[in-house]
Amino acid sequence: MANERVIPWQPTVIAGPKQALLVTPETAELMIKKAKRPLFILGPLVKEDPLRTYATKIAEKWNLPVVTTADAYKPFYEKGLNPTAYGVVEIVNLLKDPEWQGVDGKGQHDLVIFLGCIYYIGSQGLSSLKHYAPHLKTLTICKFFHSNADASFPNLKDEEWFKYLEKMGEVG
Amino acid sequence: MIVVAPKPKSEPKKFKDEFWKTKDIKISIRDIVEKDGEREVSEEETPIGPTPKPHVTDLRSWDMKLLSRYEPFYAPFCDMCCLCTFGKCDLLNKKGACGINSEAQQARIVLLACNIGTAAHAGHARHLVHHLIDELGEDYPLDLGLNIDIEAPITRTIIGKKPENLADLAETLNYVEEQLSHLLSACHTGQEGSSLDFESKALHSGVMDDLAREVGDLAQIVTLNMPKGDGDAPLVEMGVGTIDSTKPVVLCIGHNVLPGSNVMDYLDETGQEEDFEVCGICCAAIDISRYNDRAKVVGPLSRQLKFIRSGVADVIIVDEQCVRTDVLEEAQNKNTAVIATTDKMCLGLPDMTDEDPDVIVSKLLNKEIEGALILDPEKVGEVSVKVAKILSPEREKLKLLPELDEVQKMAAECTECGWCTRVCPNSKPMMEAVIAARDGDFSGFEKLYLNDVCYSCGRCEQECERELPLMSMLAKVGEKLAKTEKFNIRAGRGPVQDVEIRRVGAPLVLGDIPGVIAIVGCSNYPDGGKEVAEMAKEFLERNYIVVATGCGAMSIGEYLDEEGKTLYEQYTGDFDARGLVNIGSCVSNAHISGACIKIANIFAKKPLEGNFEEIADYILNRVGACGIAWGAYSQKAAAIATGVNRWGIPVVVGPHGSKYRRLYLGRTDKKENWKIKDLRTGKIMDGEPAPEHLIYAAENMEEAIVMTAKLCIRPTDTGKGRQIKLNHYIDLYKRYYGRLPPDIHLFVRNEKDIPITYKKDVKEILEEVGWEPREIPQEPSLMGMDGD
Ligand code: SF4
Ligand code: SF4
Ligand code: SF4
């Protein structure tokens, strides 16, 4: 069964020989620590609690600038974050441009963490960044293994996933 | 000087009339011409613009202008290429053995998809025109009645002349086919190397698709006497619940009207029209019901597998495009007879075209043949009716699905492996539905069944390790729900009338009517068909003109309000504010770009003939139209979207649309991309990101609604018009995002643009970003900019 956890959640998104690195909450945190200009992208699949709370805590703990996709803006704004709203294809389009100055105008991001975008359009966005954004790394902490990311959580059951996210948001 | 046939004084001849059935009468309009005395007309006085019958590269400079503003955004669906035996090549940060890079490869695949789509429409149109010329003669006139003078606006613009008869349609197809062979050849290994040039070719292919669709629909409208732009075309029954399965049932699947129309004719001729049910899935349904409103519409493509599995149909007639390719196997399991009717889809069946109909009937009934390929539509009519009549009482349709307790027993075999949900394109909870059914709770299946949340693609069933017949289980649970599925749809009306264009031209271009929303395309929806109806309703209530075609038009009709009424019953079919206009099938999409072209011609007096760029430039800058292809899946949909893009009409696709690999996205942060030339003053000046994108994939419905409202903004809106458009944009943005749109300042040119209701809030934002009023161009244009 271990194998099944790293077959992409929707198995046919497999694009080629390159596969994402499998990460745990600990390695995911290392990636965030190492990044100079990380960005956290939150999609509509995590706009309800408890996921909204986990996501918010992660953003707060790591002081991450947040972009919301689709209609995820309102629930996260209400939760106290100050996100920027983009369509998922719009933000990916900006991220692949090395000249873009980032959501805060201070320079292009070097790590993008995805959580909660609809799987297949998220996968397409990740593919775009894999091909055309060599200047940044992508990390997904969704419940699903995303082979088009540089690094991804494996496929997880809800309980495991919640634990992973909780861990990443724990202060101390 | 050319000689043309005079327009008939009365109704054009009806193809379904008894008269045409007599084989040996060959109609030649020339005879009539001679009897009436020749009518001479002088060569068209309209001047011909710069690009009649443009070759692949002739509109390239226009394409490059579009592409520098709306840069291609690529999302590879696959890292590799396997098109030649050098490969497979891995194109991730590498070039292929032929030298191609990843971007060019994506664009190449998009071009290929567009070419496939265009070929499907061109093949379809060619089949119709060829057949109709055989039956009616090539002089058969194209008469769309009194209300439509600018018939064939696409053909006029691209070919450079108005088509008068079927022969002219055939000539247009000659041109399309020639272009298509050049375009397809560019996909060969070692041809084009630039992604932008691939895109320019894809745009050309899209416009060839436009032409092919216009030809196809005109041919069927004039010869089969379909509605000619009638706003009050009849309501047609739709839904599985409207079909009386105790009668023999003939089901047509696909896009070509001829087999189905001949079934209707045969029933009429033999006086059996009350004794049979003739129904359709996908565009064949729409087009047969445009021909004869007694034909019923089962629904969009999402119904296909579950309806076949339900076993209601005694005979299935397939023609072309979007038909399940395993239809024969599926039908055989239900003892349903299959008749294939076009060269596009022969299914390995024996060619019975030249056999006596009764011989075919007996061979089918005795199972001497698995099914029949019959390439003569008239014969299809007779054979299908005769077979259905005998087969129907034998089939005991009601016992074809497992009983509910059997469904429960099957469900008990589930191992909870979860793969059904994983392979589902929308990750729908099939496993949960099965687990619940094990305990006799069928609500999970019901939720999947209703609104086609599960669109019966059958992938889950293919994957199931216990080989559970998940689609049959779904169809069984849905059986009792299906009985209540009684909807309707307004029969496809075809083109928009000239008088309607005169009426709405000014309010549309000035912005008083906030936009034309075209709901088109297939049923690859992320979350069922209901969202499509909800989008239509939203824009109708806001005074937009909503036009629809194909599966989208059907999904709109499947939504009932509290009083049990469909949107088609609540809104008129007029092309006007708050009109819900079913234009027709996929090929009828031509009339949507056609309507925009007619606005340029009738309202702004722009000449059409050979004048593509000026017309497209006008539409891009002035006509606030936006397409929504929420479930676009096919290569035809790729061609259609790319075609309307080249005319300057933006499109929003659903999340699955990201798999087309390419979008055209604008960048509001790059001010220089939005420069325009004011043709009135000759000055190059700052423009607006209006429309902001040309083809955009939204992640969910909420995002799509807001984006669609924004994409209706045009640089020529008057202050009042802009206020109306911004009011809707702000209103919708606030509803779904809980705040004012942060980019609102980009669309406020001066204070007159600010909607009164939001004056205070908008002014706050303007102040925050240091906004300053801008000069408004009088005739904004991309023409005369760099590249010309
Ligand atoms: S067409 Fe080019 S990229 Fe594709 S397999 Fe052949 S050599 Fe490789
Ligand atoms: S038939 Fe297709 S859409 Fe329906 S549940 Fe199965 S995989 Fe999903
Ligand atoms: S694939 Fe079959 S066995 Fe596996 S969970 Fe789905 S229904 Fe059960």
Q: What is the mean pLDDT of residues B513-518?
A: 97
Q: Which residue has the tokens 């429960």?
A: B408
* Predicted local confidence at residue B148, as pLDDT: 81
pLDDT band at B151 (very low <50, low <70, confident <90, very high): confident
Q: Within 10 Å of residue B348's Cβ, how many Cβ atoms?
A: 9
- pLDDT tens digit sequence for B386-429: 999 999 999 876 667 899 999 999 999 999 999 999 999 999 99
- pLDDT tens digit sequence for A82-128: 999 999 999 999 999 999 999 999 999 999 999 999 999 999 999 99
> How many whole angstroms separate alpha carbon A14 and alpha carbon A6?
11
Q: For ligand 2, is residue B324 a contact (CB within 6 Å)? A: no
B692: nearest CA partner in chain A: A90
> How many whole angstroms separate alpha carbon B468 and alpha carbon B419?
12
Q: Is pLDDT at B16 greater than 60 in this prediction?
A: no
Please tell me the least confidently modeled range out of A106-110, B116-120, B301-305: B301-305
Ligand 2 center to B343 CA (angstroms): 30
A105: nearest CA partner in chain B: B669
> How many whole angstroms separate alpha carbon B740 and alpha carbon B737?
8
Bridge-based pairing state of the strands B277-281 and B89-90: unpaired
State whether B76 and A131 contact (CB < 8 Å).
yes
Q: What is the mean pLDDT of residues B304-327?
A: 96
Q: Within 10 Å of residue B71's Cβ, how many Cβ atoms?
A: 20
Q: Does B413 touch chain A (CB under 8 A)?
A: no
Give me the residue from A17, A89, A119 closest to B427, CB to CB: A119
CA dihedral B103, B105, B106, B109 (to 10 degrees): 160
Q: Does B739 touch chain A (CB under 8 A)?
A: yes
Q: Which residue has the tokens 């083809």?
A: B695
Please tell me the least confidently modeled range out of B138-142, B330-334, B594-598, B781-785: B781-785
State whether B699 and A10 contact (CB < 8 Å).
no
> Letter for the amino acid at B724?
I
Radius of gyration of chain A (CA): 15
Least Cα distance to A126 among A118, A136, A111, A138 occurs for A138
> How many whole angstroms separate alpha carbon B483 and alpha carbon B240?
7
CA distances from B712 to B576, B611, B676, B685, B745 (A): 16, 24, 18, 21, 16
Would you list the DSSP string of B237-297? Answer: EESGGG--TTS-EEEEESS-HHHHHHHHHHHHHTT-TTT-EEEEETHHHHHHHHH-TTSEE
For residues B151 and B118, is the Cβ–Cβ distance under 8 A?
Answer: no
Least Cα distance to B531 among B556, B567, B562 occurs for B556
Least Cα distance to B79 among A16, A138, A44, A9 occurs for A16
Reading phi first (left if > 0) and then psi (alpha if -120 to 50, else beta), residue B21 is in alpha
Radius of gyration of chain B (CA): 26
The encoded tokens of residue B39 equal 């009518």
Q: Which helix (H) or strand (E) holds B678?
A: strand B676-678
Q: Which residue has the tokens 């058969």?
A: B140
Q: Is pLDDT at B146 greater than 80 in this prediction?
A: no
pTM of the model: 0.94
> How many whole angstroms separate alpha carbon B349 and alpha carbon A88?
47
Q: Which of A71, A77, A103 to mutate to test the interface with B (most CBs of B within 10 A)?
A: A71
- pLDDT tens digit sequence for B231-244: 899 999 999 999 99
The 8 Å CB, 24+ separation contacts for B91-97 are B91/A131, B92/A15, B92/A16, B92/A17, B92/A18, B92/A130, B92/A131, B93/A131, B93/A134
User: How far does Cα B204 stand from its chain's mean position?
Assistant: 18
* Per-residue burial over B381-406, b = 16 or more CB atoms within 10 Å of its CB, e = otherwise: bbbbbbbbbebbeebebeebbbebee
HEC string of B551-583 equals HHHHHHHCCCCCCCCCHHHHCECCCCCCEEEEE
Rounded to a whole number, what is the distance in Å from the CA of B182 to chain A's nearest CA? 29
The angle at the Cα of B314, spanning B313 to B315, to the nearest 5 degrees, equals 95
* Predicted local confidence at residue A4, as pLDDT: 85
pLDDT band at B703 (very low <50, low <70, confident <90, very high): very high
Q: Does A98 touch chain B (CB under 8 A)?
A: no
Question: Which numbered ligand comes closest to the C-alpha of B83?
Answer: 1
Q: For ligand 1, is residue B97 a contact (CB within 6 Å)? A: yes
State whether A16 and B698 contact (CB < 8 Å).
no
- The strands making up A137-140's β-sheet, listed across from edge to edge, are A21-22, A151-152, A137-140, A111-115, A38-42, A66-68, A84-85
* Predicted local confidence at residue B343, as pLDDT: 97
Give me the residue from B80, B102, B736 closest to A71, CB to CB: B736
pLDDT band at B786 (very low <50, low <70, confident <90, very high): low
ipTM at complex level = 0.98
Ligand 3 center to A119 CA (angstroms): 20
- pLDDT tens digit sequence for B344-369: 999 999 999 999 999 999 999 999 99
> How many whole angstroms separate alpha carbon B714 and alpha carbon B621?
6
Least Cα distance to A105 among A89, A130, A84 occurs for A84
Q: What is the mean pLDDT of residues A20-25?
A: 97
CB hemisphere CA count around A136 (13 angstroms) = 30
Q: What percent of chain B has pLDDT over 70?
A: 93
> How many whole angstroms separate alpha carbon B567 and alpha carbon B561?
8
Those residues whose C-beta lies under 8 Å from the C-beta of residue B384, and which sit 6 or more positions away, are B250, B259, B263, B315, B317, B337, B339
- pLDDT tens digit sequence for B154-186: 999 999 999 999 999 999 999 999 999 999 999
- pLDDT tens digit sequence for A159-168: 999 999 999 9
- pLDDT tens digit sequence for A151-161: 999 999 999 99
Q: What is the mean pLDDT of residues B197-219?
A: 98
Q: Does A128 touch chain B (CB under 8 A)?
A: yes
HEC string of chain A equals CCHHHHCCCCHHHCCCCCCCEECCHHHHHHHHHHCCCEEEEECHHHCCCCHHHHHHHHHHHCCCCEEECCCCHHHHHHCCCCCEECCHHHHHHHHCCCCCCCCCCCCCCCEEEEECCCHHHHHHHHHHHHHHCCCCEEEECCCCCCCCCCEECCCCCHHHHHHHHHHHHCCC
A-facing residues of B in 520-539 (CB < 8 A) are: 526
Rounded to a whole number, what is the distance in Å from the CA of A57 to chain B's nearest CA? 21
Q: Does B672 touch chain A (CB under 8 A)?
A: no
> How many whole angstroms separate alpha carbon B309 and alpha carbon B404?
15
B-facing residues of A in 29-48 (CB < 8 A) are: 43-44
Mean pLDDT of chain B: 92
Q: Is pLDDT at B284 greater than 80 in this prediction?
A: yes
HEC string of B603-639 equals HCCCCCCCCHHHHHHHHHHHCCEEEEECECCCHHHHH
